[in-house]
C-alpha cells in the first residue's frame, strides 16, 4: 500500500456508495494543514450528477472514513481532505525501511534500450553532452530500479559526413593540394595521435568545407568509407578508437554506464536490406535522385519534410542509420521500449524516425520514447559558451566544478564527489525540458537546492547513525514512531518516494527524484532542529526515522548518479 493507494481505495468505495461512476482521483494536498492527500474531483462529479458539491463531498468524506485516516474532511467548495493516522504513517515508514527497494512499485519488466550521450568521433564533448550523459544515466538507473531490463547504448556519431570532413582534414594535414586524396591518408599516421590532434584535423576539414569543391570531396570520402574502401576504413577505425577511448574516459568520470558502445556505423550492414525492404513494400520512394520515406505522426507538423534515406550520391544519412539501428534494436536485441535522450533541437528528427519506423512496421508493440532536454544558458540567458564563443567544453566544465569543490572540501576524493554532484544535481533539479543557467558558485553552494546540500545532509545523518553505534545505542528493531509534528512531516516526505519513482519513470523525468531528495532533506533539517535524536529519552524511534531518511536520500542520489560520502 502506498500513501496514495489508501486514499484511492477509500474513495473508490465512497464513490460507489454515492453512485459516482468515475475512477477516484487523489493528489498530494497542496495545503498540509488540511491533510496529506486531497481529492479535487467531487466538484466536477457533482455538476454532472446535478448535486450540491459540498453536500456530495460531505457524503463522500463520510463514506471514505476508516481507521487509516485520522480525519477525512471537506474544505472550500468541495475538496475532500485526508489526514493519515499517525499509526499508519509510522507503520508504512517502518515497512519501507525494511524493504530493500523502499516500497518501489515495479513495472512490468520490459527489455529497454536507452540511447544517450551520442557523441561524435573527433568532435570535442561540450555542454550539450553533459546533459545527455547526466540525464541519460539517471534515466537508465530509474528504469532499472523499477524493474526493466535495460541496455544503454552510446550511439556514437561515426558514419556521416563528419567522417568525410575528418578524412579530408587528415589529407590536408598530410599536404594534399590536388589529385588523389586517398594516397595522402596513411592509417599508420594516426597510430599515436591524441584526441586533441584528431579534433584539430576535424576542425580544419570542416573549415575547408566552406569551399563547395572541397565539400564535394568530403562527400566522396564519406561514400567511399561507407562502401568499405580498405584504406579509409583502416584510418577511420583508428580515429574512431582514439575518440572512443577519450569519450569513455569522460563517461567513466561522470559515472555514465554504457552496456553497448555501438555507433551509427554498426547499423551499416542493416541499411541495404532495410532500404530494399522499404522499396519492395512501396514505402520508400525516389525523389530527385534521393530515396525518401514520407512521415507523419501526432505531434509532427503537417508539412513535415520526408525522412531522407539515401542521397543521390548513395550515402546513408543520419536518419538512415537511426532507422536501421532502431530496427536492429528491435530484431536483434528484442527491445520492447527504446528511449532516446537528446536535446530538443532533435525533436523533429527523432519523431520522423519514430514515424518511419511505425509506418514500416519496425516498431510493432514497441514503445518509442524521446526524452528531450533544453539548453544550458549563460548568465546572459544565451546558450552557455566559453569566452571565445565556442560551446563550453565538457572537460572544462568538469574541471571548473572540481576546482571549485576542492576549494571547499579538503579531502580530494570527497572533493571529486562533491564537484561532480554539484554539476549533476544542477542539471537534474529542474524539469529536463526547461534548461537552466550555468552558475558554478550557486551549484557548489552547500545551501539551497544543490548537490552539496544533499550530500552534506546525507553525511550528517550518517554521522548521527555512526555516533549512535559508537554510543552502543543499537535498537533491536527499526521501528518508526511519531514523536513530533516535524518527525511526521519528514516521514510523509519519505513515503512519497515510491510515487516519485513511478512518476520519474512514467515521464522520464529525473527531476521527480531530485525534488524528492530535496524535500526529504529539507524536512529532515526541521526535524533535526526540533527533535534531539541521541539525547532523546528513547532514541530508537528517531534513529529509525534517521535511517529511513538516509536510505531515501541515498537512494535518490544513487538514482541521479550522484555519489555520497559518509564523512565530509
Q: Which residues bind to ligand ARG, rule: CB under 6 A?
A: 115, 118, 120, 155, 157, 322, 340, 342
Q: Which is nearer to ligand ARG, 18 or 342 (CB)?
A: 342
Q: Which is nearer to ligand ARG, 157 or 541 (CB)?
A: 157
Q: Which is nearer to ligand ARG, 119 or 451 (CB)?
A: 119
Closest separation in Å from C-beta 285 to ligand ARG: 23
Q: Which is nearer to ligand ARG, 141 or 155 (CB)?
A: 155
- What's the count of helices (H) and strands (E) in the chain, helices before strands? 20, 13
Q: Which is nearer to ligand ARG, 59 or 115 (CB)?
A: 115
Q: What is the largest CA-CA distance in the chain?
A: 89
Instruction: For residues 191 and 183, give the distance between their C-alpha atoms in angstroms, rounded to a whole number.
Output: 17
Q: Which is nearer to ligand ARG, 340 or 496 (CB)?
A: 340
Closest separation in Å from C-beta 408 to ligand ARG: 34
Instruction: For residues 336 and 364, give the distance between their C-alpha atoms in angstroms, rounded to a whole number.
Output: 9
| C-beta separation of 154 from 119 below 8 A | yes
Q: Which is nearer to ligand ARG, 116 or 527 (CB)?
A: 116
| C-alpha pair distances (Å), 219 with each of 120, 306, 311, 316, 450 | 17, 21, 10, 11, 47
Q: Phi, psi at residue 113, to the nearest 5°?
A: -110, 130
Closest separation in Å from C-beta 470 to ligand ARG: 50
Which letter does DSSP use for residue 126 in this model?
B
Handedness of CA 418, 419, 421, 426 (dihedral sign): positive
Closest separation in Å from C-beta 560 to ligand ARG: 22
| C-beta separation of 11 from 26 below 8 A | yes
Strand 337-343 versus strand 367-373 pairing type: parallel
Closest separation in Å from C-beta 157 to ligand ARG: 3
Q: Which is nearer to ligand ARG, 243 or 416 (CB)?
A: 243
Closest separation in Å from C-beta 160 to ligand ARG: 8
Residue located via cell numbers 528484442 = 334
| C-alpha pair distances (Å), 356 with each of 347, 361, 422, 541 | 14, 9, 40, 57
Q: Which is nearer to ligand ARG, 120 or 152 (CB)?
A: 120
Residue nearest to ligand ARG (CB): 118
Q: Which residues contact 165 (CB under 8 A, 6 or more apart)?
A: 202, 205, 206, 208, 209, 218
Closest separation in Å from C-beta 115 to ligand ARG: 5
Closest separation in Å from C-beta 171 to ligand ARG: 24
Which letter does DSSP use for residue 311 in this model?
-
Set of cell numbers at residue 474: 543499537
Residue located via cell numbers 529525473 = 510
Instruction: For residues 478 and 464, give the distance between their C-alpha atoms in angstroms, rounded to a whole number.
Output: 15
Q: Which is nearer to ligand ARG, 342 or 455 (CB)?
A: 342
| C-beta separation of 362 from 327 below 8 A | yes
Closest separation in Å from C-beta 541 to ligand ARG: 50
| C-beta separation of 470 from 507 below 8 A | no
E strand or H helix at 551, and its extent?
Answer: helix 540-560
The strand ranges marked E within 220-306 are 284-287, 290-293
Closest separation in Å from C-beta 327 to ligand ARG: 13
Amino acid at each position: 500500500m502506498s500513501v496514495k493507494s489508501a486514499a484511492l481505495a477509500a474513495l473508490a468505495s465512497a464513490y460507489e456508495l454515492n453512485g459516482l461512476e468515475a475512477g477516484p482521483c487523489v493528489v498530494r494536498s497542496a495545503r498540509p494543514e488540511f491533510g496529506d492527500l486531497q481529492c479535487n474531483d467531487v466538484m466536477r462529479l457533482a455538476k454532472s450528477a446535478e448535486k450540491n458539491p459540498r453536500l456530495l463531498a460531505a457524503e463522500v468524506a463520510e463514506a471514505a472514513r476508516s481507521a487509516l485516516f485520522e480525519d477525512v474532511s471537506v474544505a472550500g467548495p468541495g475538496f475532500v481532505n485526508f489526514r493519515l493516522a499517525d499509526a499508519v504513517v509510522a507503520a508504512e515508514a517502518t515497512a519501507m525501511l525494511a524493504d530493500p527497494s523502499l516500497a518501489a512499485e515495479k513495472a512490468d519488466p520490459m527489455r529497454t534500450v536507452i540511447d544517450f550521450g551520442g557523441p561524435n568521433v573527433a568532435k570535442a564533448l561540450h555542454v550539450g553532452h553533459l546533459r545527455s550523459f547526466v540525464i541519460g544515466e539517471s534515466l537508465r538507473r530509474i528504469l532499472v530500479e523499477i524493474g526493466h531490463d535495460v541496455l544503454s547504448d552510446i550511439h556514437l556519431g561515426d558514419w556521416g559526413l563528419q567522417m568525410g570532413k575528418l578524412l579530408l582534414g587528415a589529407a590536408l594535414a598530410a599536404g594534399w593540394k590536388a589529385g588523389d586524396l586517398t594516397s595522402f591518408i596513411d592509417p599508420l599516421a594516426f597510430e599515436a595521435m591524441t584526441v586533441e590532434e584528431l579534433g584539430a584535423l576535424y576542425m580544419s576539414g570542416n573549415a575547408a568545407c566552406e569551399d563547395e569543391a572541397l565539400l564535394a570531396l568530403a562527400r566522396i570520402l564519406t561514400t567511399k568509407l561507407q562502401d568499405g574502401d580498405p584504406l579509409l576504413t583502416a584510418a577511420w577505425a583508428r580515429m574512431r578508437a582514439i575518440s572512443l577511448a577519450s569519450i569513455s574516459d569522460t563517461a567513466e568520470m561522470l559515472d555514465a554506464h554504457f552496456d553497448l558502445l555501438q555507433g551509427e556505423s554498426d547499423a551499416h550492414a542493416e541499411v541495404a536490406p532495410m532500404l530494399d525492404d522499404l522499396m519492395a513494400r512501396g514505402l520508400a520512394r525516389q525523389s530527385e535522385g534521393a530515396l525518401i520515406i514520407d512521415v507523419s505522426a501526432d505531434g509532427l507538423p503537417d508539412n513535415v519534410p520526408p525522412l531522407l534515406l539515401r542521397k543521390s550520391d548513395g550515402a546513408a544519412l543520419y536518419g538512415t542509420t537511426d532507422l536501421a539501428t532502431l530496427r536492429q534494436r528491435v530484431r536483434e536485441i528484442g527491445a520492447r521500449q527504446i528511449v532516446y535522450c537528446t536535446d530538443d533541437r532533435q525533436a523533429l528528427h527523432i519523431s520522423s524516425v519514430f514515424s518511419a519506423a511505425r509506418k514500416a512496421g519496425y516498431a510493432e508493440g514497441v514503445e518509442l520514447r524521446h526524452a528531450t532536454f533544453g539548453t544550458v544558458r549563460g548568465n546572459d540567458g544565451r546558450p552557455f559558451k566559453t569566452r571565445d564563443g565556442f560551446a563550453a567544453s565538457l572537460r572544462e566544465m568538469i574541471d571548473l566544478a572540481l576546482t571549485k569543490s576542492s576549494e571547499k572540501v579538503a579531502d580530494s576524493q570527497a572533493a571529486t564527489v562533491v564537484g561532480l554532484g554539484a554539476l549533476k544535481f544542477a542539471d537534474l533539479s529542474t524539469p529536463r525540458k526547461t534548461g537552466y543557467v550555468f552558475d558554478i558558485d550557486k551549484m557548489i553552494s552547500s545551501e539551497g537546492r544543490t548537490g552539496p546540500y544533499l550530500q552534506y545532509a546525507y553525511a550528517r545523518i550518517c554521522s548521527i547513525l555512526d555516533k549512535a553505534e559508537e554510543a552502543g545505542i543499537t535498537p533491536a528493531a527499526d521501528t518508526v514512531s511519531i514523536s513530533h509534528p516535524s518527525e511526521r512531516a519528514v516521514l510523509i516526505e519519505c513515503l512519497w518516494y515510491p510515487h516519485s519513482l513511478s512518476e520519474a519513470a512514467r515521464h522520464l523525468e529525473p527531476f521527480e527524484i531530485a525534488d524528492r531528495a530535496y524535500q526529504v532533506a529539507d524536512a529532515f533539517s526541521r526535524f533535526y532542529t526540533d527533535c534531539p535524536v541521541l539525547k532523546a529519552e528513547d532514541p530508537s524511534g528517531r534513529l529509525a526515522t534517521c535511517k529511513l531518511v538516509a536510505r531515501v536520500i541515498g537512494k535518490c542520489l544513487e538514482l541521479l548518479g550522484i555519489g555520497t560520502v559518509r564523512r565530509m
